[in-house]
């Protein structure tokens, strides 16, 4: 693991790191904030999954999470959103597919299957590295994310409910198998059989019997992607039918940006920290 940068913040340390990832077949960069409480021993870890077009840097620069993370004593890990670099298949000009748009799944279709394995990266390889290199208590993990990353957080928590003690999301893609900005990517990554997509659709996972203790979702009412891409009411319907507690906050006037995310970031960290204790 290579250290790209380190900076002191709120008594803790914000770092950026790079390593050669086996799952994606390329170097991967990620950010980790370690709170001051880690000087006395291992602390809980909260995974943040970013949205389309983002890298690790968007939430690190705009998310305003460090003060709350330091107050509650939690590590924040922010992975990249896709493999990148020479030789990685991509569609230039298509911000909804390829670079910056890995959708937190393992592609099965050529030529993407060799590198686009973000599910395995964020659920297996990167957690093993974090457990080895940082003072992270891996028995106390939570996960949250934004948009595409909210989709990833929901599906990962539903698949590994024994691993995560909290899951929340900002403006998640509630049903990516039918949403206009994710269905084409699913077809290219996973093939034309929609049955193969269900493992990466929160509403389908719930319908198929997967459960999680509870969810917190914040969604802006002025989000331009609300009606076509996000549709939180579909998650609300799925959770109600399955008896999964869901707190859905419709935030009046807020959009899809990090102005929205940063406004409610401290709420999500406090909510997660209460469950990680």
HSE, side-chain direction, 13 A CA sphere, residue 28: 25
CA angle (125 as vertex; 12, 74 as ends), nearest 5: 25
Tell me the sheet residues that pair with 34.
13
223 is catalytic: yes
Write out 88-134 in H/E/C secondary structure: CCCCCCCCCCECCECCCCECCCCCCCCCCEHHHHHHHHHHHHHHHHC
213 is catalytic: no
Residue 171's region, left for phi above 0, alpha for psi from -120 to 50, else beta, is left
Euclidean distance between CA atoms 37 and 44, whole angstroms? 10
Whether the Cβ atoms of residue 44 and residue 3 lie closer than 8 Å to each other: no
Euclidean distance between CA atoms 241 and 57, whole angstroms? 37
Pairing type for strands 12-21 and 26-34 reads: antiparallel
Out of 147, 166, 177, 182, the active site residue is 147
Pairing type for strands 164-170 and 12-21 reads: unpaired
Out of 146, 200, 256, 268, the active site residue is 256
HSE, side-chain direction, 13 A CA sphere, residue 175: 19
DSSP state of 227: I
Q: In this structure, what token pair is assigned to residue 135? A: 């003072």
Out of 50, 72, 223, 268, the active site residue is 223
218 is catalytic: no
Residues involved in catalysis: 147, 223, 256
């Amino acid at each position: 693991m290579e250290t790209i940068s380190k900076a002191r913040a709120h008594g803790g340390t914000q770092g950026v790191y790079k390593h050669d990832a086996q799952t994606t077949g390329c170097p991967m960069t990620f950010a980790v904030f370690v709170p001051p409480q880690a000087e006395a021993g291992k602390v809980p870890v909260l995974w943040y999954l970013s949205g389309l077009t983002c890298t690790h840097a968007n939430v690190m620069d705009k998310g305003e999470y460090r003060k709350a993370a330091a107050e509650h004593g939690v590590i924040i890990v922010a992975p990249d959103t896709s493999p990148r670099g020479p030789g990685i298949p991509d569609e230039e000009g298509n911000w909804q597919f390829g670079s910056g748009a890995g959708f937190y799944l393992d592609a099965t279709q050529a030529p993407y299957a060799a590198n686009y394995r973000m599910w395995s990266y964020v659920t297996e390889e990167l957690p093993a590295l974090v457990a080895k290199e940082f003072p992270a208590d891996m028995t106390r993990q939570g996960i949250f994310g934004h948009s595409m990353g909210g989709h990833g957080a929901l599906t990962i928590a539903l698949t590994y409910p024994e691993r995560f003690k909290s899951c929340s999301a900002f403006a998640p893609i509630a049903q990516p198998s039918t949403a206009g900005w994710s269905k084409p990517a699913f077809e290219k990554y996973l093939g034309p059989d929609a049955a193969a997509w269900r493992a990466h659709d929160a509403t389908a996972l719930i319908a198929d019997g997967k459960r999680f203790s509870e969810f917190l979702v914040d969604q802006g009412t002025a989000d331009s992607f609300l009606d076509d891409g996000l549709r939180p009411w579909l998650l609300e319907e799925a959770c109600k039918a399955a008896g999964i507690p869901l707190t859905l906050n419709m935030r009046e006037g807020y959009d899809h940006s990090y102005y929205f995310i940063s406004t409610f970031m401290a709420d999500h960290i406090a909510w997660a920290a209460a469950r990680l204790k």
